[in-house]
Amino acid sequence: MFDIITSILSALGGFGVFLLMLAENVFPPIPSEVILPLAGYTAAQGRGSLLMIVVAGTLGSAAGAVLWYYVGRWIGIDRLKRFASRHGRWLTLTPGEVDHVDRWFARYGHWAVLFGRMVPGVRTLISVPAGVSGMPLGPFLVSTLAGSAIWTVILVLAGYELGERYSQVASVIEPVSNAVLALAVIWYLWRVATFGR
C-alpha cells in the first residue's frame, strides 16, 4: 500500500493527492493518516507546493463525502423507516427512533458533519445520515469542506514538520481510529442484543 501511494504521489503530484483522498473517502481502508503526512513530507523536500497539497487533499476528501451523501439521499428517510419496521434489530433503530435522529440531525447536522469529518472512522460515514435526513447540499458542502480542510492541514503540516519521521503521524492516529472502530462495533452489538427492551 505504501509503495502504491508513493508512486501515485510521485507521478501525479497534487492530482494524485486528490485521487487518493477521493479513494480514501469511498474506500475507508485507504488511510488519510498515511497519504497526507507523506504528501506533506514530499512538499518539505521541494516536490510540490504545500498549498496545492492542502487544496487537493481537501477537495478530494469532500468529493468522496459527496458520493456518500447522495447514497444517503437515495436511501431517504421513508425508505429507512420502512427498513427499520422490518429489520429494526439489525439497524438497531425503530421507525420512531429514525424520526428522532432525523429531527436531531435537522437541528445539529452541520456541527455533526463538521466535527465528524475530523474523526477517524466517522469521517466517511457521517455523510450518509446527512443525505438521509435531507440536509441541503449547500450547508453540507460548507461543513464538509471546513472539516476536511482542518483535518488535511493538520496531517499535511505534521508530515511537513516531521520530515523523514512523517510515518509517526499514522502510528499516533491509527490506534485512535482502531479504538473508535472497536467502540462502534461494541455499541452496535450491545444495541442488537438489547433491542426492544
Domain housing 130: 1-192
Long-range contacts of 4-9, Cβ-Cβ distance < 8 Å, separation of 24 or more:
5/34, 5/35, 5/38, 6/38, 9/35, 9/38, 9/39, 9/42
Residue 95 inside a domain? The answer is yes
Residue 108 inside a domain? The answer is yes
Residue 174 inside a domain? The answer is yes
Cα-to-chain-centroid distance, residue 93? 23
Q: What is the pLDDT of residue 44?
A: 80
Q: What is the pLDDT of residue 2?
A: 58
**Cα–Cα distance between 133 and 78 in angstroms, integer?**
10
Residue 137 inside a domain? The answer is yes
Residue 155: name the closest of 12, 2, 17 by CA. 17
Q: What is the pLDDT along the chain (197 residues), one digit of tens a residue?
A: 556 777 777 777 788 889 988 888 887 667 777 788 888 888 887 777 889 999 999 999 999 999 999 998 998 888 888 877 777 677 777 777 788 888 888 888 889 999 988 887 777 788 888 998 889 999 999 999 999 999 999 989 888 887 666 666 666 667 767 777 778 788 778 877 777 66
Residue 197 inside a domain? The answer is no
**Cα–Cα distance between 35 and 20 in angstroms, integer?**
7
Q: Considering Cα of 74, then 77, then 81, then 84, what sign does the dihedral take?
A: positive
Residue 160 inside a domain? The answer is yes
Residue 16 inside a domain? The answer is yes
Residue 11: name the closest of 42, 40, 41 by CA. 42
Residue 54: name the closest of 42, 39, 68 by CA. 39
DSSP state of 165: G
Q: What is the pLDDT of residue 164?
A: 66
Cα-to-chain-centroid distance, residue 134? 19
**C-alpha atoms less than 13 angstroms from C-alpha of 98 in its C-beta half-sphere:** 21
How many folded domains does the chain comprise? 1
In 26-165, where do the E strands start and end?
Answer: none
